[in-house]
Amino acid sequence: MLISRSTPVIRSVAIAVLLATAAVGCGSDSDSDTRTGASASPSGSGSGGQGSASSRIEAVNKTMRETAFTGAGTTTAFEGARQEVWWDPEQGLRMKISGPSEAEGGDLYCKGGTSYTGARLFASMLAQRGQEITVPERLSDVYVSSETGQDCDAYFTISTSGQFAPDKDTTIDGKAALAIEVSAGAAADTYFVSAEGPGCLLRQESERDGRTSRSTYGGFGEAETISMPTPEQTMTMAQFRSEVGAG
């Protein structure tokens, strides 16, 4: 059934997104890097000098929640797709997926614990799981709303189960970066967080069922304008299912 599986489907699109935030001046807009191993971290600030991995993750998660940012890169959501992300703690989240075909693209928004997924993107997400539906043209501009039961930062919070991976520590755009690995089943992520300052995410590399992605983050602390879909543009999943069934 559409409703019974829609919430995990919606979250799966965003699971590859590790968004970055930090104080102004923290982070990088570039994807240039020099692989130098654990020595990339300055003396006293490498993995061994950062305390536990969980405490570092909590610090990074805090700045992620509290600071505006942008991100861009590839995504494991669809083969050959790219994504852009905008986050503002007051205005919410916007994610734009650009797939190999127009049918696989679209926007996802989230604010106040409610996600809004473009109808065509929603259909593509269902198709990934063997649920084929056809979106009537009259519904092509509709957003399907879903109560997530948690704050929107859940889309990009790093799990505190992550562990330091000092052999992957590196330098990104001249900034020492600590590698943190998180894995669960067929999903694996490596987060590269700044070794200094309040802690910000510089890059994320992910793998999901054989697909890989790489995203970088910047624009920390810069003003963003994120406008949620209007009530006239949205439908609940129950309404959407009914309308799709009506053709």
Locate 40 and state its tokens: 């990339």
Identify the band that residue 30 occupies on the pLDDT scale cut at 50, 70 and 90: very low
| Lowest-pLDDT choice from 9-13, 47-51, 89-93 | 9-13
Locate 200 and state its tokens: 């910000």
pLDDT at position 47: 52
CA dihedral of 79, 84, 89, 91, whole degrees rounded to 10: -110
Identify the band that residue 215 occupies on the pLDDT scale cut at 50, 70 and 90: very high
Identify the band that residue 37 occupies on the pLDDT scale cut at 50, 70 and 90: very low
pLDDT in tens, 76-131: 877 788 999 999 999 999 999 987 765 567 899 999 999 999 998 888 888 877 77
Give φ, ψ of 140 to 5 degrees. Answer: -65, -25
User: How many structural domains comprise the chain?
Assistant: 1
Instruction: Tell how strand 143-147 and strand 234-236 pair up.
Output: parallel
pLDDT at position 193: 93
pLDDT in tens, 124-165: 888 877 777 788 888 889 999 998 788 898 888 899 999 999
DSSP secondary structure string for all residues of the chain: -HHHHHHHHHHHHHTT------STT-S-S---EE--GGGGSPTT-SGGGS--HHHHHHHHHHHHHHS-EEEEEE-SSSTT-EEEEEEETTTEEEEEEE-SSGGG-EEEEEETTEEEEEHHHHHHHHHTTT------GGGTT-EEEEE-SS-GGGGTPPPTT-EE-GGG-EEETTEEEEEEEEEETTEEEEEEEESSTT--EEEEEEEETTEEEEEEEE-TT------PPPGGGEEEHHHHHHHHHH-
Return all residues near 101 (Cβ < 8 A) that are at least 6 apart.
Answer: none
CATH code of 78's domain: 2.50.20.10
Average pLDDT, the chain: 78
Share of the chain above pLDDT 70, in %: 77
Taking the whole predicted model, whether its pTM rises above 0.85 is answered as no
pLDDT at position 36: 32
Q: Look-up: residue for tokens 């970066």?
A: 177
Count CB-CB contacts under 10 A for residue 63.
Answer: 24
Q: Which domain holds residue 77?
A: 2-246
Share of the chain above pLDDT 90, in %: 42
